[in-house]
Structure 1
Amino acid sequence: MKLNKYSEASPVDAELSPEAEAVVERLKLQAENLFETRALLCAEAVMVTLNEAFDGSLSEEEAINLGSTFCMGVGTAGCMCGALAGGLASVGMFTGKGRLADSNAHARDCGKNLHDAFVRNHKTTCCRSLTRHVKNDSAKHFAQCTMLTGNATELAARIIIAERQDTHITPRKALAKGHVLAMRAGNVLRNVCKSVWRLAHR
């Protein structure tokens, strides 16, 4: 299926079926849950949720690792909101060349649609600006980032569903915190083993 590349309406604003709207809401809550339980950070939660829901090409570990670079405003730099960055990466994964289009031009359009919708909702994409008024209140800061994680997931999901014209989606159950922590521990152990092996074979 090829995209309607030059549709004037943003896919974020496309009218979805009641079933698709229910899917979007469930994905939003799933990403918020992953963040709220501290199983994953913002971008990781967005990417894992969307990758699994739409049968993306990444493993759970790959989605987490890719999202990890965007978290906390790109590694505490206070730059782009990590949740938005995770949403952009996810939209690219599902609208890029070879998935639904003949080139990446439309994926860029979809990315701009997500960016513009996020700015419309939150006035800025800058993590530092988004969190300025809550930076001294950890509870409010955490609540705001939970909301941003859910909203970025919701907006990205709306684009993906509208572009795929796919309403028959059954999101998988959210990853348990223990599952995620076990994957992270395995990652750390593998990296330690690789480092030891490299040192031993110098």
Structure 2
Amino acid sequence: MTLQKEVLATQAVDLFRNGLYCSEAILQVFNKELGLGLNDTAIKMATGFGAGLGASKCCCGSLTGAVMVLSAVKGRTSTEGNVDEVFSLTQELHNEFKKRYKATCCRVLTRSVKWGEPEHHQLCEQYVRGAVEILTDILERESKSAPVKSNG
């Protein structure tokens, strides 16, 4: 799998600039790029993660959107499926995001700007881009070490 990190990041930022929440933008870009086959109902599940879990300003929607993509690729559909791999990759994604931005909480990440102002949206673009970059690195590395498989 060869993912064009910069192209995917730009596509996600463009969707975000055009009104999608960060979580929605990331899920939509990777659904198309990876051919995840998520239908509209599945895509709509990303909406509630926007603005830090339904505007509660908690966990960053860019991070949760990226976790949804990881889960779509590596998650399970039954109790027989193993969660070790997806949990490990999710922890890696979380830890790298936190290392890069010093927080995962939307409220903390955006405290330097007034919520809802243009500066707020511009600041969040870097989190969308960063989550896509981290996710792309993980997915590319994993595709080289093992084929993507169902963990049903």
TM-score, structure 2 as length reference = 0.85
| Residue 97 of structure 1: how far off its partner (Å) | 3.9
Aligned pairs, how many? 142
Partner of 1:5: none
Q: Deviations over 1:150-177 (max 9, x none)?
A: 21122112212221229xxxxxxxxxxx
Q: 2:37 aligns with which of 57, 71, 77?
A: 57
Partner of 1:35: 16
Q: Percent identical across equivalent pairs? A: 30
Aligned residue number for residue 66 of structure 2: 87
Is residue 24–residue 154 contact of structure 1 (8 Å, CA) maintained in 2?
Answer: yes
**Change over 3 Å in CA distance of 1:136–1:89 after alignment to 2:** closer
The equivalent position to 2:88 in structure 1, one of 109, 112, 124, is: 109
For structure 2, the 5+ residue unaligned runs are: 146-152
Deviant stretches of 4+, over 6 Å: none
Segment drifting more, 147-156 vs 109-118 = 147-156
Deviations 1:124-171 (A, max 9, x none): 0000001111126712101011121121122112212221229xxxxx
Query: More deviation in 61-70 or 25-34?
Result: 61-70
TM-fit CA distance, 1:63: 4.4
Normalised by the length of structure 1, the TM-score is 0.65
In structure 1, the residue matched to 2:139 is 160
C-alpha displacement of 1:57: 3.1
**Deviation of 1:67 (Å):** 0.7
Q: Give 3-state SS (helix, strand or coil) of 1:133's partner.
A: coil
State which structure, 1 or 2, has the greater radius of gyration over its C-alpha atoms.
1
CA distance in 2, matches of 1:63, 1:149: 20
> Which structure 1 segments of 5+ residues have no match?
1-18, 167-202
Partner of 1:190: none
